[in-house]
Amino acid sequence: MKKHIVTIALALVLGISLGAQEKAPAKGFTIGKWMEIQNAVRLDLNKYYVDTLPLARMERASLDALLNSLDPYTVYVPEEEQEDFNLIIGKTYGGIGAVIYKPEKDGNVIINEPYADSPAARAGLRCGDEIITIDGESTHGLTSQQASDKMRGKPGTSVAFRLKKVYSGKEVDVTIVRERIHFPDVEYAGMLNDTTGYICQSGFTEGVSGAVRESVLKLKEQGMKKLVLDLRGNGGGLVDEAVKIISLFVPKGTMVLSSKGNTPDSEEKFFTTIDPIDLKIPIVVLVDSGSASASEIVAGGLQDLDRATVMGRRSFGKGLVQRILPLPYGGELKVTIAKYYTPSGRCVQAIDYANRNEDGSVGHIPDSLTHEFKTAHGRIVRDGGGITPDVLLSEKEYGRLVYSVVLNGITDQYALDYVRRHENVPAFEDFHFTDEDYKDFVAFAKDKKFDYRSDARATFDHMKKQLEKDGFADRMKDQLDAMEKALEMDKETFLNIEKDELIPFIEQEIAVRYWFQEAGVKIRLRYDDQLREALSKPLAI
């Protein structure tokens, strides 16, 4: 955000003149009225309530309920939650740079995934190493969160570990100096073919525009004649970084964004202020229902200026601007202060918060409720929620079992088990999960707990319960029993049916443990049918 407010002054109007009694109450009067009522309720509860009041919990619940009545992005963050909050919005924390796994409370902590060039990786920690003690304290009895808290800390401070190495079984002592760990927003940049460059961007934290700039220049040196900027699943971040990324491809001084709110300082126009690095290279921007906020600023801005072809699925639909305000006792208020508008004048904010899909993205909006706007070359675009792509692409749909296996951590647990049993693997380019490997996975997964019902079986179970509730199940017993038997399938059979859908997830989990996070993106590219479809489509501009 461009500005931070240091102090807030609220003038509470506690009375109105006789001549104004027939008008709507002033905002200040309404605030004062409800503050008095709430304080009176608190005092009466404190005096008369039969049991001891859980005051801290009550006040937090009250504050959260107040903010939840506004929008999903206006939230209170107490001082003790700011480290986790900074990790979410800034993708940064103080620590050693590794994901840990603790399957048993009375067991050791396991290094699950060290990050590339992190203090953990430089100290030689690798997937499968077990942490016996942290600063001399046994990890037995600690929860995963407690162990993680002990490993985190102020950058520049040291943390001592006693480790059991994964392959040798030897116990060693290692001291690591904590650093500020930042997850890179540019997860991967490379050439898809001789002329097409590709950048996978996962966020908009400070400095990402510089990383995108550097990536574009390197790709141009490698012969790039066309750029694919992949913003699928990118939930957004800093507005300034979005503006700077658009600046790389449009003339200096171009208006690329505006915001409007209830205060003068929330109304602003954003112009590009740096010289572009390329005004002609064809650009494809990929978006989906997970592309939100700053992602929509970039996609919508380049679309409105007819500088890129947007491909994929309709984006999330978050056209709101937040600002972080300091509060007493070290807390912060993240508050929505304005709506933003793309260069054509459209707002991507969903018309109504309630009209959304299960994943939170924009639901169907009829054209009758939206408005037409025109791009720089006169193409028609619409508001009402999200960025509608110039070119719609097919959407990959996975079976119910795939979601169940992945979300229950079965592929993650298997990858750790695989690494423990395979010290040496082929080079990344030659790494593929074979049929024999998949048999090994099935043998591992079939003993794990997860919901392995098919979509059809889950629908049947729901229907059967409804029939029982309505009193029809007994009449249809023979038909229901026959259908249930036909839909019955054991885990092993179903896992083999879903083999082609599960292998990419397994390969990705294994790859990041040997070759770090960038390898995971490369694995995804192997199986990215939507990207291949995008490369086959003509550009809209």
The per-residue pLDDT for range 294-313, each reduced to its tens digit, is: 999 999 999 999 999 999 99
| Residue 210: CATH number of its domain | 3.90.226.10
Say yes or no: 287 and 375 in one domain. yes
pLDDT of residue 358: 66
Contacts of 216 (CB under 8 A, 6+ apart): 197, 199, 224, 227, 248, 277, 278
Q: List 110's β-bridge partners, or say none.
A: 101, 130
pLDDT of residue 10: 30
Cβ-based neighbour number of residue 479 at 10 Å: 9
Q: Is residue 483 part of a domain?
A: no
Residue 84: pLDDT over 80: no
Q: Is residue 330 part of a domain?
A: no
pLDDT of residue 527: 96
Domain boundary among 153, 182, 211: 182
Q: Are strands 283-287 and 309-312 parallel, antiparallel or unpaired?
A: parallel
Say yes or no: 162 and 192 in one domain. no
Say yes or no: 160 and 230 in one domain. no
Residue 485 one-letter amino acid:
K
Tell me the catalytic residues.
293, 304, 318
- The answer to whether 346 touches 383, Cβ cutoff 8 Å, is yes
Residue 345: pLDDT over 80: yes
Rounded Cα distance, 395 and 398, in Å: 10
Q: Is residue 58 part of a domain?
A: no
Say yes or no: 382 and 308 in one domain. yes
* Sign of the dihedral defined by the CA atoms of residues 527, 533, 536, 540, in that order: negative
Q: Is 481 helix (H, G, I), strand (E, B) or coil?
A: helix
Residue 25: pLDDT over 70: no
Listed residue (287, 339, 283, 341) closest to 315, CA to CA: 287
Say yes or no: 278 and 266 in one domain. yes
Say yes or no: 209 and 255 in one domain. yes
Q: What is the 3-state secondary structure (H, E, C) of 293-316?
A: CHHHHHHHHHHHCCCCEEEECCCC
User: What is the H or E stretch that residue 380 is in?
Assistant: strand 380-382
Q: Is residue 213 part of a domain?
A: yes
- The answer to whether 491 touches 507, Cβ cutoff 8 Å, is no
User: What is the residue range of 525's domain?
Assistant: 400-452+489-533
Q: Is residue 44 part of a domain?
A: no
pLDDT of residue 13: 30
pLDDT of residue 356: 62
Q: Which of 36-50, 342-356, 387-401 has the lowest mean pLDDT?
A: 342-356
Q: Is residue 66 part of a domain?
A: no
Q: Which of 85-89, 161-165, 424-428 has the lowest mean pLDDT?
A: 85-89
- The answer to whether 492 touches 446, Cβ cutoff 8 Å, is yes
Prediction pTM value: 0.86
pLDDT of residue 357: 67
Domain boundary among 154, 182, 210: 182
Distances (CA, A) of 199 to 144, 226, 494, 513: 34, 11, 36, 22
Say yes or no: 265 and 372 in one domain. yes
Residue 11: pLDDT over 60: no
The backbone torsions φ and ψ at residue 289, rounded to the nearest 5 degrees and listed phi first, read -70, -15
Q: Which two tokens stand for residue 298?
A: 């970039």
Say yes or no: 299 and 317 in one domain. yes
pLDDT in tens, 98-117: 999 998 888 999 999 999 99
Say yes or no: 346 and 201 in one domain. yes
CA torsion, ordered 403, 409, 410, 412, to nearest 10 deg: 120
Say yes or no: 358 and 407 in one domain. no
Q: Is residue 73 part of a domain?
A: no
Query: How many domains are contained in the chain?
Result: 3
Say yes or no: 405 and 525 in one domain. yes
Q: Which two tokens stand for residue 136?
A: 């001399």
pLDDT in tens, 275-287: 999 999 999 999 9
- The answer to whether 83 touches 152, Cβ cutoff 8 Å, is yes
Rounded Cα distance, 424 and 192, in Å: 28
Domain boundary among 182, 205, 230: 182
For the residues 24-40, what does the mean pLDDT come to? 79
Q: Is residue 1 part of a domain?
A: no
Residue 190: pLDDT over 90: yes
For the residues 385-406, what does the mean pLDDT come to? 93
